[in-house]
Amino acid sequence: MKQHQLSQAVEAAHIAEIRTAVRQLCRRYGEDYWLTLDRNRGYPTDFVRELTAAGFLTVLIPEAYGGAGLGLREAAVVMEEVCRSGAHAGACHAQMYVMGSVLRHGNDEQKKRYLPAIAAGELRLQSFGVTEPTTGTDTTNLKTTARRDGDVFRINGQKVWISRIEHSDLMVLLARTTPRDQVDKKTQGLSAFLVDVQTAVGNGLTIAPIDSMINHHSCELFFDDLVVPRENLLGEEGHGFRVILDGMNAERILIAAECVGDGRYFIDKASAYARERVVFGRPIGQNQGVQFPIARCYAEVEAASLMVEKAAELFDAGEPCGAEANVAKMLASEASWRAGDVCMQTHGGFAFAKEYHIERKFRETRLYQIAPISTNLILSYIGEHVLGMPRSF
């Protein structure tokens, strides 16, 4: 019992240290930095470089390859604190979850080739190419093909909403290597590839940025006979869905952690403003009509945070965590959205002034009820896989 309490205390101290260090780094990139990037559609190159140099973006890389060798629990804390500081973590979060696919499914050769360079900040693995315009959430129905031709694969098709590709050296790409009507299960016959983005552009890969609601650097991709060497296959041919799925659980847990960070950001801002803003001769927060919604958001975000911790601990222990990752993502994205809405309401008209930063964060946190997976699809997962009800599609 005492031993258990001691290890819990050590764990808590270690998490607190990470929080403090990330907060200090983020303080150097204030909210005006993010506002300017949002206005100019810029990429936070300095911030990402510093976060990588400090070892925070590569926490998941084992020490043998130059990383910190920590788990998703620590990675989640990094992303939470980045979001709580007022930053937009969408510019950099992917390296953490795409990494899971390489760590779990990459062969020794791939790990030796890529991981030390990623840990050193020389190579950016920031892009994850799954979604397609005609099939959307129906991932296993995707139309992009990879045809074997001797020692290479030839890739043809289209992807949409592929984020950070212009700021990435490597992308994990999902394509169909065996037609769907030639496999027993629709999840079979898909393969994952590590694509060298820099050499691909202009040689079979065309990138078209999408003008979107938030500064997420998302693009459309067009593949016209892009040649990818066979050694860039990630995991076994035909088993790419498994490779992507492992990355997806990590992604959901990390996004949920970002939502907890967003939620805490909104609650910090709303409660501070409610204490200071005086109308009718008293702080608006003295009115319970203003106070209670903020208090409710606090309770919701705290509950979501516990679910994020649980999912991350299961992931780190190598246990199944699909249900927990999905539940954490749904609860946290809904809690952060409600906190954003309450924060807007608390600030009244000033919420609309860009210099208050709330409207930017409000736009940014809205994404997470749609991407990387929408709430309906999470409910469907819970209904079918957790509660055993009939599959609806």
Ligand X SMILES: Cc1cc2nc3c(=O)[nH]c(=O)nc-3n(C[C@H](O)[C@H](O)[C@H](O)COP(=O)(O)OP(=O)(O)OC[C@H]3O[C@@H](n4cnc5c(N)ncnc54)[C@H](O)[C@@H]3O)c2cc1C
* Residue closer to ligand X (CB basis): 212 or 345: 212
> Rounded to whole angstroms, what are the CA distances from 78 to 266, 338, 374?
18, 23, 24
In the numeric block, which tokens belong to residue 59?
């926490």
Q: Closer CB to ligand X, residue 162 or residue 267?
A: 162
Residues whose CB is less than 8 angstroms from the CB of residue 237 and which lie 6 or more positions away in sequence, other chains included? 148, 177, 191
Work out how close the CB of 168 gets to ligand X at its nearest, in angstroms, rounded to a whole number: 10
Identify which of residues 68 and 370 has a Cβ nearer to ligand X in the complex. Answer: 370
CB closer to ligand X out of 349 and 390: 390
E-only strand ranges, the chain: 125-129, 145-149, 152-163, 170-176, 190-196, 205-209, 218-229, 233-234, 278-279, 282-283
The site for ligand X (CB under 6 A) is made up of: 128-131, 136-137, 161-163, 212, 216, 218, 367, 370-374, 376-377, 380, 393
Identify whether the C-beta of residue 104 lies closer than 8 Å to the C-beta of residue 172.
no
DSSP line for 303-354:
HHHHHHHHHHHHHHTT---HHHHHHHHHHHHHHHHHHHHHHHHHHGGGGGSG
Residue whose C-alpha is closest to residue 254's, from 118, 94, 50: 94
What is the full DSSP assignment across 143-157?
Answer: --EEEEETTEEEEEE
Q: Which residue is nearest to ligand X (CB)?
A: 136
Least distance to ligand X, CB of residue 136, Å? 2
- Give the Cα-Cα-Cα angle 258, 127, 67 (nearest 5 degrees): 70
Q: Residue 372: is the preceding peptide bond cis (ω within 30°)?
A: yes
Distance CA 158, CA 144 (A): 6
Tokens 């980045």 sit on residue: 82
- Find out whether 260 and 304 touch, Cβ atoms under 8 Å: yes
Residue 91 or 162: which CB sits closer to ligand X?
Answer: 162
Region of 182 (left: φ > 0; alpha: ψ -120 to 50; beta: rest) is alpha
CB of 135 to ligand X, least distance (A): 7
Nearer CB in complex with ligand X: 162/259: 162
The pairing of beta strand 282-283 with beta strand 205-209: unpaired
Closest CB to ligand X among residues 152, 371: 371
Give the residue with the Cβ less far from ligand X, 77 or 378.
378
Residue 231 is given by DSSP the state G
